[in-house]
Amino acid sequence: MSEVDYTLYLVTDAPEHYSNGLLTGVEQAIEGGATLVQYRASTGSRRQLYDTALTLRDLLRGMGVPLIINDYLDLALAVEADGVHLGQNDLPVTVARRLLGPDKLLGLSITAPEQLQACDPEQIDYLGIGPVFATSSKDDAAPAMGLEALRTLAPQCSLPTVAIGGISQQNAEEVFAAGVDGIAVVSALSHAADPAEAARRLRACAKNRAGRTGSIRRSQG
């Protein structure tokens, strides 16, 4: 894998939110244009998370789409995922990079300018910025920053950026126009009656993108 497309970043929701099941919902969203998948799960045993992540990995490899694991570095290593995404309260990125090795993707969430100043572009591949709008898909989400703050923060980032938090078809164009490389969505795809069509419409909103299309930092193995 030599190029990473951050345009439409699918973050998985609870399985019960997908009308045809998690795997089918993810597959349909990819068929509609989702370019990257993050497996995020807050419930279930570690064995259940492992089994689901492994199944997702096999599905996505067949479709040529990277799998990122949220928070759980051990799970990412266990299933040989393409990378891991960390929050501000997770493992330090230097430790995560050492354990991941140089060829895996490492994403980091930021919510404020001071967190950006602490980022080391030699350790991190991309930044998740948000929540842009209020969101109900993450219980411990920070307060919404709003579009104006996103417009201020995104251009300061030297790394590829993905906006997250309350993004839908109704506001995705404005989010792309703020200067990000991609949008991360949860319920906009998991709650959709037709995830493929929902993904197509969200992907179409990228036409006003002012960011770096198809940004690359590290070759993937």
pLDDT at 4: 94
User: Catalytic: 207?
Assistant: no
Q: Which of 57, 104, 109, 190 is catalytic?
A: 109
Pinpoint the alpha helices (H) of 102-141: 113-117
What is the per-residue pLDDT for 134?
Answer: 86
The percentage of the chain sitting over the pLDDT mark of 90, rounded to a whole number, equals 84
- Has residue 123 got a pLDDT over 60? yes
Question: How far does the chain reach from its first CA to its final CA, in angstroms?
Answer: 6
- Under a CB-based contact definition with an 8 Å cutoff, are residues 175 and 147 in contact? yes
Q: Give catalytic status of residue 109 as yes or no.
A: yes
Average pLDDT over residues 99-105: 96
Question: Which of 138, 200, 212, 218 is the catalytic position?
Answer: 138
Tell whether the model's pLDDT for residue 220 goes beyond 80: no
Taking the CB of residue 108, how many other CB atoms lie within 10 A of it?
24
Longest CA–CA span in the chain (Å) reads 42
pLDDT tier for residue 139 given thresholds of 50, 70 and 90: low
Average pLDDT, integer, range 179-184: 96
Q: Which helix (H) or strand (E) holds 86?
A: strand 83-86
Question: What pLDDT is recorded for position 209?
Answer: 66
Which residue matches tokens 């991941």? 100
Domains present along the chain, CATH in parentheses: 8-208 (3.20.20.70)
Specify whether 217 is catalytic. no
| Residue 220 burial (10 A CB sphere; 0-12, 13-18, 19+) | middle
107 DSSP assignment: E
